[in-house]
Amino acid sequence: MKRKNSYPIKKSERDWKAQLSEEEYRILREKGTELPFTGKYNDHYQKGTYFCKGCGEALYRSESKFDSKCGWPSYDCAIKGSLEEIPDNSLGIIRTEIVCSKCGGHQGHVFNDGPTSTGLRYCVNSASISFKKSRIKS
């Protein structure tokens, strides 16, 4: 998997395999993709924050999530500095891969076809993220 040379969080592939499920490892470490409309966060709209499943880095706030009808969780922006963008020509087309800036874990791809004011659609695999609900202050 081609990423920049160094990320702050370093683990052996053995350690990654011990930490992640087979599906999470396939997606985060081998650039896999889950089937559309199967991920647990595709139709998830609670208030809170989405984190990298590999290292816990905060990636997206729930306010940026929207229903793109593409089958994967979609966001119109990421938390500043949380992702690295990498050119991806693996399918014979030019795309932009997004990986966690702390551990290099594959998240998905970002596209310039979003319906909001940012014009972006961060298309993310549910298996590459976790969610923490916001606490409601009383």
Question: Chunked in runs of 10, what are the mean pLDDT values of the chain (138 residues)?
Answer: 71 96 97 96 96 98 96 97 94 92 97 94 98 78
CB-CB contact of 110 with 119 (8 Å):
no
CATH ID of 36-133, from 1.10.260.40, 3.40.50.12170, 3.30.450.20, 2.170.150.20? 2.170.150.20
Identify the pLDDT of residue 92: 83
Check residue 3 and give its pLDDT.
53
Alpha-carbon Rg for the chain, nearest whole angstrom, is 14
**What distance in Å separates the CA atoms of residue 3 and residue 14, rounded to the nearest whole number?**
18
pLDDT value for 5: 58
- Which pLDDT belongs to residue 137? 60
113 alpha-carbon distance from chain centroid: 17
Task: Give me the pLDDT at residue 2, please.
Answer: 47
- Whether residue 70 lies in the annotated active site: no
pLDDT value, residue 90? 85
Specify the pLDDT at position 16: 97
| Active-site residue, from 52, 55, 103, 123 | 123
Q: Model's pTM, two decimal places?
A: 0.91
